């Protein structure tokens, strides 16, 4: 774990869509909790943040246990660095990704 | 890239849903993405329980704590997981052998004073007229090689610092009454800033040392005293001119920080919350700044330079490659 924490990076936006059915609530809850460990929760089912390729892989492995094939979908938008991604706020602006609180 | 989290708010730090959650008294909260976190800085009045500490320990996440006045009080330093008996033995060997200890200690001062000169040269080129101080320091640097024990080496270091600090009033555009370095408690704006930013550098070095196999208590320049991680002091010596001093010059010369950001309280002179935040923002940005590394041929952040310093030291200790302190090359 510790060794993976540092080093090469990329900036990703992760969004997910979980089918609401019998097990939907459970899947959604688990996926939410796992994503929180790696990325910043910015909107209902949207996460973003810096991550390393290795940790992204680890996130994927963790999520795969809970994503139900043919029902749920997770999309990852990858960018080399945060500054190469133009981010705009329409409406309320917030600084959820800030590391100051 | 992993992040440092700076928590100013009062409140509670708790484990929740497998992340650490900081909840402010008004109910606002911030989730800390633990897998992407390097360390946590606490500046407010925070309560936390052993569950939190256990979790932080499990994640190898150091927590640095500062008191009301912004002075560093200590760190929660998780159990060492990267340990190496061999390296520890070598570390101690190099300490007990006076000759070998001196080689490393000299290298620290050599590099630190070089970086100090770099700063002075920069401002000399900007019409500050520091020529005489520069040559004085150059002269003193020649003595480093000639010293034969730690004590006299420390003496040379002290003289270099004295000349250096004397230049500060001409480097800083604001009217400051900075005459000499005073600690415990710092008595004016500049001393307070030095204490604060230096303690940040110290914690960053500690975080980086923690990831390596080095033992943070065995040091070469500073005496490995009780109750502190003195290797961290050694390594921060090299980076202070690059990181803290430059930040201090820049926040003062841009008038980002002025007397208004300070408060006097009986015998303390301390940075108010707002000022502390501004400085920390600068600090965080500074450590994330990258430069192209000559030998590695890739971009590395200032923070990573600290880690590389630890690695170089390890190489020296295990007899792989002679240690050469970091010198600003740009």
pLDDT in tens, B58-90: 988 999 999 888 888 888 988 887 778 888 999
**Would the annotation count B143 as a binding residue?**
no
Expressed in angstroms, the distance from the first to the final Cα of chain B is 24
Q: Of the candidates A33, A41, A50, which has its C-beta nearest B36's C-beta?
A: A50
Q: Of the candidates A1, A37, A58, which has its C-beta nearest B33's C-beta?
A: A37
- Tell me which chain A residues have a C-beta less than 8 angstroms from the C-beta of B6: 99-101
- What is the DSSP code string of B176-228? ----S---SS--SHHHHHHHHHHHHHHHHHHHHHHHSS--TT--SSS---TTS
CA A12/CA A28 separation, integer angstroms: 20
- A27 to chain B, closest Cα gap in Å: 14
pLDDT of residue B187: 78
**Would the annotation count B282 as a binding residue?**
no
Q: Where residue A95 falls among pLDDT bands split at 50, 70, 90? A: confident
- A72 to chain B, closest Cα gap in Å: 21
The full set of domains in chain B, from first to last, is: 3-76 (3.100.10.20), 85-318 (1.20.120.920)
- B19 to chain A, closest Cα gap in Å: 6
pLDDT of residue B177: 75
**Would the annotation count B208 as a binding residue?**
no
Q: Of the candidates B17, B81, B277, which has its C-beta nearest A2's C-beta?
A: B81
CA B74 to chain centre: 14
Candidate from B15-29, B182-196, B286-300 with smallest mean pLDDT: B182-196
CA B270/CA B276 separation, integer angstroms: 9
A37 pairs with which residues across the strands?
A: none
CB contact under 8 A, A39 and B4: no
Expressed in angstroms, the distance from the first to the final Cα of chain A is 26
Average pLDDT rounded to a whole number, residues B287-294? 89
CA A28/CA B239 separation, integer angstroms: 46
- Tell me which chain A residues have a C-beta less than 8 angstroms from the C-beta of B281: 100
CA B76/CA B61 separation, integer angstroms: 8
Residue of A nearest to B24 (CA): A101
Q: Of the candidates B2, B81, B277, which has its C-beta nearest A100's C-beta?
A: B277
- Tell me which chain B residues have a C-beta less than 8 angstroms from the C-beta of A38: 33, 35-36
Kindly report the pTM of this predicted structure: 0.87
Helices of type H across chain B:
50-58, 85-96, 98-123, 131-146, 150-171, 189-211, 230-239, 246-253, 273-288, 302-317
Q: Where residue A7 falls among pLDDT bands split at 50, 70, 90? A: very low
Dihedral, CA of residue B249, residue B250, residue B254 and residue B256, to nearest 10: -100
The answer to whether the beta carbons of residues A97 and A89 sit under 8 Å apart is no
Per-residue pLDDT reduced to its tens digit, B221-273: 887 765 678 899 999 999 999 999 999 999 998 888 888 888 887 777 888 88
Q: Write the CB contacts of B162 (distance below 8 Å, at least 6 apart in sequence).
A: B180
- Tell me which chain B residues have a C-beta less than 8 angstroms from the C-beta of A36: 17-19, 31, 33
**What is residue B127's DSSP assignment?**
I
The strand pair at B11-16 and B19-23 is best described as: antiparallel
Each residue of A22-59: b (16+ CB within 10 Å) or e?
Answer: eeeeebbebbbebbbbbbbbbeebebbbbbbeebbebb
Q: Which of B2, B14, B32 to mutate to test the interface with A (most CBs of A within 10 A)?
A: B2
């Amino acid at each position: 774990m510790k060794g993976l924490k540092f080093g090469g990076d990329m900036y990703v936006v992760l969004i997910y869509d979980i089918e609401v059915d019998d097990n939907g609530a459970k899947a959604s809850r688990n996926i939410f909790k796992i994503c929180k460990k790696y990325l910043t929760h910015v909107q209902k089912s949207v996460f973003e943040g810096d991550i390393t390729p290795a940790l992204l892989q680890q996130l994927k492995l963790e999520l795969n246990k809970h994503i139900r094939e043919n029902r749920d979908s997770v999309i990852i938008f990858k960018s080399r660095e945060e500054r190469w991604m133009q981010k705009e706020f329409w409406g309320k602006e917030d600084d959820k990704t800030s590391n100051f609180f | 890239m992993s992040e440092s989290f700076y928590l100013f708010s009062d409140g509670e730090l708790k484990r929740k849903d497998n992340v650490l959650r900081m909840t402010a008294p008004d109910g606002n909260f911030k989730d800390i993405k633990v897998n992407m976190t390097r360390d946590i800085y606490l500046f407010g009045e925070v309560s936390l329980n052993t569950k939190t500490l256990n979790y932080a320990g499990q994640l190898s996440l150091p927590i640095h704590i500062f008191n009301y006045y912004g002075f560093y009080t200590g760190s929660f330093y998780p159990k060492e997981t990267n340990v190496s008996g061999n390296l520890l033995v070598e570390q101690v060997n190099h300490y007990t052998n006076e000759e070998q200890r001196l080689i490393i200690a000299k290298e620290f001062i050599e590099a630190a004073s070089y970086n100090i000169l770099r700063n002075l040269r920069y401002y000399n080129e900007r019409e500050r007229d520091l020529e005489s101080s520069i040559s004085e320091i150059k002269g003193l640097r020649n003595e480093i090689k000639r010293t034969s024990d730690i004590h006299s080496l420390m003496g040379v270091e002290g003289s270099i610092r004295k000349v250096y600090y004397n230049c500060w009033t001409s480097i800083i555009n604001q009217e400051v009454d900075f005459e000499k370095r005073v600690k415990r408690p710092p008595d004016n704006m500049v001393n307070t800033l030095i204490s604060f930013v230096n303690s940040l550098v110290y914690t960053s070095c500690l975080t980086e040392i923690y990831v390596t196999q080095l033992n943070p208590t065995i040091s070469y320049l500073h005496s490995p005293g009780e109750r502190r991680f003195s290797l961290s002091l050694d390594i921060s010596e090299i980076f202070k001119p690059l990181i803290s001093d430059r930040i201090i010059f820049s926040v003062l010369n841009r008038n980002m920080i002025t007397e208004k950001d300070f408060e006097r309280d009986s015998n303390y002179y301390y940075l108010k919350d707002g000022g502390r935040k501004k400085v920390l923002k600068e600090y965080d940005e500074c450590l994330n700044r990258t430069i192209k590394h000559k030998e590695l041929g890739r971009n590395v952040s200032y923070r990573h330079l600290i880690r590389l310093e630890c690695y170089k030291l390890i190489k020296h200790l295990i007899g792989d490659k002679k240690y050469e302190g970091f010198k600003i090359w740009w």
